[in-house]
Amino acid sequence: MGSSTADRITVRGHDLVEDLIGKVSLGDMAFLELKGRLPTPKESTVFNALAVTLVEHGMTPSAIAARLTYFGAPESVQGAVAAGLLGIGDRFGGSVEEAARTLQEALAGSDTSPNFGRLANQVVASHKERKRPIAGIGHPIHKPIDPRTPKLFEIAAANGLSGRYVELMSAISVEAGRAYGKELPVNATGAIGAIASELEIPWQVSRGLAVMARAIGLVGHIREELDEPLSAEIWSRVDEESSGR
Amino acid sequence: MGSSTADRITVRGHDLVEDLIGKVSLGDMAFLELKGRLPTPKESTVFNALAVTLVEHGMTPSAIAARLTYFGAPESVQGAVAAGLLGIGDRFGGSVEEAARTLQEALAGSDTSPNFGRLANQVVASHKERKRPIAGIGHPIHKPIDPRTPKLFEIAAANGLSGRYVELMSAISVEAGRAYGKELPVNATGAIGAIASELEIPWQVSRGLAVMARAIGLVGHIREELDEPLSAEIWSRVDEESSGR
Amino acid sequence: MGSSTADRITVRGHDLVEDLIGKVSLGDMAFLELKGRLPTPKESTVFNALAVTLVEHGMTPSAIAARLTYFGAPESVQGAVAAGLLGIGDRFGGSVEEAARTLQEALAGSDTSPNFGRLANQVVASHKERKRPIAGIGHPIHKPIDPRTPKLFEIAAANGLSGRYVELMSAISVEAGRAYGKELPVNATGAIGAIASELEIPWQVSRGLAVMARAIGLVGHIREELDEPLSAEIWSRVDEESSGR
Amino acid sequence: MGSSTADRITVRGHDLVEDLIGKVSLGDMAFLELKGRLPTPKESTVFNALAVTLVEHGMTPSAIAARLTYFGAPESVQGAVAAGLLGIGDRFGGSVEEAARTLQEALAGSDTSPNFGRLANQVVASHKERKRPIAGIGHPIHKPIDPRTPKLFEIAAANGLSGRYVELMSAISVEAGRAYGKELPVNATGAIGAIASELEIPWQVSRGLAVMARAIGLVGHIREELDEPLSAEIWSRVDEESSGR
């Protein structure tokens, strides 16, 4: 949190004007907000890569909601972005959070060289028993593999941030593939959940990472509505069939 | 807007995996969303400075609303951030927007070397006549000057982005000071409105810039609530007097 | 506003337990919140009719946004309803507000028996000059007339609440029809704006009437999503064409 | 859901103009949205009593968030109400939902004359074992008893809607008092959860009941801000201490 007096504004111990404006990028400022300290150059590269990945996913339910809201309330850009963010819940943002949680909980008590195969096996078995899907693996559209995953893993490794969370995530993918008899590669939310864990972002905060990144993408959608509105067309396409008109 | 197929995700003409992840920072991605193209290095420096300035302003009404919402609905980080964003309206985000609008409209029809004093005079007179405050000048707290303003103007100048919008904003401050008989220096929202105009961001989109930056700051507030909750204390401080208990 | 102590809860001067629960209906409670006093039986009939009219309008952009938000964040019914409400802005809720404002401003200074034809003429001329649509008349779908309008006018008249606002609204419809050379009958938002004015609800609050009524309808949409979800289908219908998949 | 054609608007099988406007109250319309059918007179009395109870609770976090949001974005009444609703989450609206769920799940498989003492004992034991609070009993402020509870139970009984859910709720209160060695009377959310269950409202929808009722109360708070704004005072009271100014 920050504070401000007549001639000084402080954000988490840093003087906004002297130390931050013009010196740190928006991504590093986001790191500061989430972690309470500025990133090292390697952390910055990796964190920005995660955030950039989460900005924009095309015409998602969240983006449609933002555009339709702007259609009804053009006086309130903030309302349209807020409406879009409200859809970053258990189904979407929750997937990053759930992957991070699974990894952080599995490794919480373990020593520095855990048996990843055994931990992965326990994770898969416990999900199978409770009939719950495993967050972070498989993808309905991006097949055979989500192209973001190898890219993110490569960037993490090149910057010394591919450690035991990434290793466990990969092991879970292998074990789950065996248990369910089909390819279940790590998807983008799994990669992000694992790498955010390498950055020691608590799993409870990882949904916030998705929310802040998506706010940027949603402003981009509203920006497009200004120039080339799609919302009336979206509405008519939905309403035509649903109301029987 | 982006689109995605089985093996390729595109954001505004750029391949997400090949061209963006690991290559552009979050701030540059935000520029891409707002402008439809990536920034030059100088534009990047200036744009990131604007965005960083807008992230966090301490315990504002918006931050209080986000924290109290998280208190009531801890299951929904997205709801708390959305609630906070909903307060970035006419009074706050609108100030950047209004400053940018005033400048862009005043300079819309003018040639390359306008008479800034005369334009500023017209702006001040027209606001005075309609009894409307002039956006972007004066500040209730930061006196005598808002420390962010000279910093932002310096960064813009150092990167070749201090042109006629900045000049007009400064001229308006001088004319208004004369008309109202008191110091009315350019404040941070005026500086941001002017420099965003130098970056050719349409005034209608400048509120979106505030919204995306503040989303990051609001996640930071929620992050703090996780570790060190203030919301119950905030509530009791408000309610004690209002309910007469 | 209310207050509460250990054994007593008060809402706008009424003891909640003794005077309201079990004694007043939800609609009358809404009247109390908007007006600061309970309605007479005739006011209650008319106010409830207005509110009931505003609850539900089928698959509007607002309802679609609520359903898609629930799809992404099923943990947060409040988020889905909030997302839907955010679309009750200038285009939709604003229409009731604008109609009420036009009528209240036109009649603000007038005596008890104004010349309605002349006032209507002024309203139409002033809108035509500024090239602004007149709120409350015409309708893209309900032709030749919006079936809600005669019903609402009939109920207002039967309860002694059809006075000069209703008369002016009708006169505006006639004058506008003449000025634009086509039938422009009073639509439901015009009728509601006029009758809300008869109830002395300030125009600034009339959007709030739409918001509270629509919250009820949006919960109904979420209720339907629970039993028979349409959101995935809505999404695929929108996304199929927009992403070119 | 409704649909509309040129001359007819239908809401859940009822012709809006012929059957609903002027014939049903807002509370009965809400019942229709939640249940898919109109209430009997007795159901109407009980349902309206529940809804009225939930409208307004004074200066809650949700009401403060709505007022502060309106302060920042006076152009958007819908945004202020939405911000307030976003706080009706697990902690507040969730309490009604959780009470209803506990009762509905406990009685799901049971026959028509269950042993309430034994069921209550199981509920209390299972919560105690998981160290989870029991929803619907005890209250930090309203002591010794929440005055709304006996009123709601009395209205339910007088209208033939006090059955096994109410009985189980009361039994849980007794058992919990014994298990924890202190008075834990049924509070308003427990009474509402139980009586909503008597009305066969699924527990998943009971939070929606709180959300729709509270939307009305939040419009009332915004209404007050128009006449007699408290938000600036609220802000200064919070910020004074938190920022150390």
Q: Which of B58, B72, B88 is facing D61, going by the closest CB pair?
A: B72
Give me C61's structure tokens.
């952009």
Q: What 8-state DSSP symbol labels residue C181?
A: T
**Nearest CA-CA distance, residue A116 and chain C, Å:** 32
DSSP lists the bridge partners of residue B10 as: B3, B15
For residue C80, the chain A residue with the least C-alpha distance is A86
DSSP lists the bridge partners of residue B4 as: B9
pLDDT tens, N- to C-terminus, chain C (245 residues):
556 665 688 899 999 999 999 999 999 999 999 999 999 999 999 999 999 999 998 889 999 999 999 999 998 999 999 999 999 988 877 889 999 999 999 999 777 788 999 999 999 999 999 999 999 998 766 666 788 999 999 999 999 999 999 999 999 999 999 999 999 999 999 999 999 999 999 998 899 999 999 999 999 999 999 888 888 888 888 876 444 33
Q: Is A50 on the interface with C (CB under 8 A)?
A: no
Mutate to test the interface with C, among D56, D75, D88 (most CBs of C within 10 A): D56
Indicate whether A38 pLDDT > 60: yes
Peptide linkage before D144 cis (omega within 30 of 0):
yes
Write down the pLDDT at residue B241: 46
Q: Is C78 on the interface with B (CB under 8 A)?
A: yes
Sheet arrangement for strand B8-11: B2-5, B8-11, B14-15
d(CA D67, CA D231): 6
SS (H, E, C) A171-186: HHHHHHHHHHCCCCCE
- Closest C-alpha to A29, from B157, B85, B63, B219: B219
**Nearest CA-CA distance, residue C145 and chain B, Å:** 37
Backbone torsions φ then ψ of D8, nearest 5 degrees: -150, 130
Which chains reach chain D with 3 or more Cβ–Cβ distances below 8 angstroms?
Answer: A, B, C
d(CA D166, CA D170): 6
d(CA D80, CA A87): 19
The series of mean pLDDT values per 10 residues for chain D, 245 residues long, is 68 94 97 96 98 92 94 92 94 87 92 89 95 88 80 98 96 96 94 97 92 97 89 79 40
d(CA C124, CA C172): 7
Over residues B135-184, the pLDDT tens digits come to 999 876 666 778 899 999 999 999 999 999 999 999 999 999 999 999 99
Write down the pLDDT at residue A237: 80
Residue for token pair 């920034």: B39
Q: Which of C68, C89, C239 is facing A65, going by the closest CB pair?
A: C68
Give me B185's structure tokens.
């220096």
Write down the pLDDT at residue A244: 37
d(CA B89, CA C230): 33
A50 Cα distance to chain centroid: 7
Give the A:C interface size as CB pairs under 8 Å.
143
For residue D230, the chain B residue with the least C-alpha distance is B242
Give Cα separations from A36 to B62, B77, B220 (angstroms).
Answer: 20, 18, 9
Cite the beta strand spans of B6-163 per DSSP E. Answer: 8-11, 14-15
Q: Is C83 on the interface with D (CB under 8 A)?
A: yes
Q: Is B222 on the interface with A (CB under 8 A)?
A: yes
pTM over 0.90: yes
Amino acid at site A121: N
Amino acid at site D109: G
Are C26 and D55 a contacting pair at CB < 8 A? yes
**Nearest CA-CA distance, residue B89 and chain C, Å:** 13
Half-sphere exposure of A81 (CA within 13 A, CB side): 37
Are C147 and D7 a contacting pair at CB < 8 A? yes
Q: Is B73 on the interface with C (CB under 8 A)?
A: yes
- C75 contacts on B by Cβ (under 8 Å): 75-76
Which chains reach chain C with 3 or more Cβ–Cβ distances below 8 angstroms?
Answer: A, B, D
Q: At what angle do helices B77-85 and A203-227 cross, to 10 degrees?
A: 40
DSSP lists the bridge partners of residue A137 as: A186
Which chains reach chain B with 3 or more Cβ–Cβ distances below 8 angstroms?
Answer: A, C, D
Contact at 8 Å (CB) between B56 and B217? yes
d(CA B116, CA C175): 47
d(CA D213, CA D26): 11
Write down the pLDDT at residue C238: 81
Are D242 and B73 a contacting pair at CB < 8 A? no
Calculate the CA dihedral of residues A220, A147, B21, A218 and round it to 10 degrees.
20
pLDDT tens, N- to C-terminus, chain B (245 residues):
556 665 688 899 999 999 999 999 999 999 999 999 999 999 999 999 999 999 998 889 999 999 999 999 998 999 999 999 999 988 877 889 999 999 999 999 777 788 999 999 999 999 999 999 999 998 766 667 788 999 999 999 999 999 999 999 999 999 999 999 999 999 999 999 999 999 999 998 899 999 999 999 999 999 999 888 888 888 888 876 444 33
